[in-house]
Chains A and B, each alone.
Chain A
């Protein structure tokens, strides 16, 4: 999904829901289903419309609620949104029984990071992963920790590393360098200091060598050049920063869930803890002394803003990036334009910018 669509907005959080809300209208749903070759049953259309309406309501409620209940409301919003989007993707309502994950050690944790999420059966987690994270086949009974989940969200990287001094992140930020003659990507070596063996971090990025030439290591950077005709790998943060994801190793199997699924697991965990373990959640929210609360709040904020955006991207099969730019100006004063003129032998010397109408 490398096609980027820029949408001008003064309030991206609001406008993403306006774009999603179009799928709360039966006519739009019918058109979408027809375009994707599905039969549009009235019941299915109403189900999808209802999911989108409910999801928005849950997310709004989460936004306006205290952290004692907001994680649960947000999780409900996420489940409902994924249910609606899945029905659109498959042309049928999924038969989901259960969340598809449990938190067995919820009663015994001291940190959020220690909460274990164990995938179980063919529940919501696996069914949504089949659609929004193809290839992510969760291993039944193999635990994930919230530390892994939080370390896999690109937008949390600095906060994650600040909060957990010894933890290893699962995401590596990339700098995309565009030059006159070429473009390349690079990883600052500073971003690899958390890894005991930086080469292992690179070796655990799935499809790295399908997408890039052999990484070249200089004193400052790991230089990555895309292979010709290769598919892009990696994910983008809310602010359009590219990241490469490091695979999670589960019983010898490498798994790299998409951001949607990572956030979904995290939201489930926080929703579960806040709803069923107030004995942990209340003191944590009231008097956390470690700073972990800041990270959790940031995770909730990132999910609130970015999760619907990511689902919208899936539905519209493009990467929607909200920007805030002046419209209607064609800037011809850039060096590249001057160069273009020069190449085409048009002499623009002697004409000041002010004289150009």
Chain B
């Protein structure tokens, strides 16, 4: 029995999710941090929903949405010829939505902590908005980025309910480590469940510890 297969799949899923969330979460977090639009509370609520919803509820709607008859799923079938549900790609989409608040909120907090004048100074010194974002905002929000990325990575790694609902249990495709552990417990294979659980425990500990050590070093530079 291979315990590293499911772990590796989990890591791949977490890496893909984190990368996508960095790309789409950053502009959303920036918009939320700067806007005074009356739509802001609604957008914030939607972003925060996955924190409070049971994964089964989220998973259920995603199953319908991503299924071959769903809005996104049918379009995917037309595009690629295969279904999104019970596939790795489907898992990535589900994970992105599920882990979104964990990526966005730390970044948004970091952006909001930047004095407005810092930006205005960059603009009056000739930096365009994009230039100012990369030359001033990003270097001063490193903590927020690291926090957002580590949390969404770790959160995706520990995902269970949503994967079960939209991904099922296909080895090498959707059988991530949390599902594998659940399987082993169901079949009373406690030895294998132990090994995997311990592995995940250690991994999560190291990742989070790494983040907190980094934060500490960063602050005391």
Do A and B make up one complex? no
